[in-house]
Amino acid sequence: MRLVSPHALAGLAILAVVLVLWQILPPALGVPRFIIPTPLDMWNEIGRMYRRENLIANSASTALYTILGFAIGSALGAAIGYVLGFSQFWERVLSPYILALQIAPKVAFAPLFIMWFGYNAIPKLLVTVLIVFFPVLVNVLAAMKTVDRDMVNLARAYSLTRWQIFLKVEFPSTLPNLMAGLRIASTLAVIGVTVGELVGGNTGLGFLISYGGGQANAAMVFNAIVLLTLIGIALYSVLAWAEERLLHYIPKKEI
């Protein structure tokens, strides 16, 4: 029985090569540590961050608001996407406003939220919700437009209620698009939280990035970026696992 797949072995080999080159090349080329720290520098720095910079608390804060913002934004996006999918009239009425909000740069709202709510967790949560909301909404709304109308008409012929049609026909048909939107949103949720913490946060990994940059501590910045990436990968992996379980009936393409 093979314990490690060839793909995982290849990925680990590439990572090992990158880390070795990263450790060797900057000092060999005379690049200062405050510009590009080596992995060893980052390892030493993360120990210091653990002791003096409340690394666990800051990481937990970022992870918490990433999950919370993702959950709220996804729920709102899916709910409004399905509601608009039920009514072509309201979709046409509201589409220009939705498009305008989607085009507007979400990060530009962060200073406004700070002005309105102050330097606390609410601005970064709102930015995250706003960023997560649109990918889910767009994916769900697009999926509702492609639902097989013959299946809907057949369900009506069997006297199913509107709610039963949604549960038995429309929701299963749109589930692949919904899961795709959630996977996209999971990566954007980390960006939303980080922007909120960079602009006006006093906790979180984004705050450590801002603080480390002000101290010319590149190792701290690199470590915070790595931890943010790990949070995003963890959330994405959970969604990929859930998608695999929920959509197990869809045949996979053999490569």
Are 58 and 204 in contact, with CB atoms under 8 Å apart? yes
At residue 4, the pLDDT reads 64
Averaged pLDDT score across all residues of the chain? 86
At residue 1, the pLDDT reads 45
Name the region of 54 (left: φ>0; alpha: ψ -120 to 50; beta: rest). Answer: left
Domain ranges of the chain: 53-246
Are 191 and 129 in contact, with CB atoms under 8 Å apart? no
Instruction: Tell me the H-state helices in the chain.
Output: 6-28, 39-52, 55-86, 88-103, 109-117, 121-145, 149-157, 162-165, 171-200, 205-214, 218-246
At residue 215, the pLDDT reads 86
At residue 253, the pLDDT reads 56
At residue 111, the pLDDT reads 84
pLDDT(101) > 50:
yes
pLDDT(21) > 70:
yes
Domain 53-246 superfamily per CATH: MetI-like (1.10.3720.10)
Give residue-wise pLDDT tens across range 24-81. 988 888 888 888 898 999 999 999 988 888 899 999 999 999 999 999 999 999 999 8
The mean per-residue pLDDT over the stretch 243-253 comes to 73
pLDDT(255) > 50:
no
At residue 117, the pLDDT reads 85
At residue 208, the pLDDT reads 92
Residue 107 DSSP label:
G
Nearest to 206 by CA among 115, 119, 102: 119
The mean per-residue pLDDT over the stretch 147-171 comes to 82
The pTM of the whole model exceeds 0.95 = no
At residue 58, the pLDDT reads 92
CA separation, residue 166 to residues 77, 105, 169, 171 (Å) = 17, 33, 6, 6
The mean per-residue pLDDT over the stretch 215-242 comes to 92
Residue of 105 and 231 predicted with greater confidence: 231
**Which two tokens mark 193?**
């939280």
The mean per-residue pLDDT over the stretch 139-159 comes to 83
At residue 165, the pLDDT reads 83
Residue of 40 and 154 predicted with greater confidence: 40
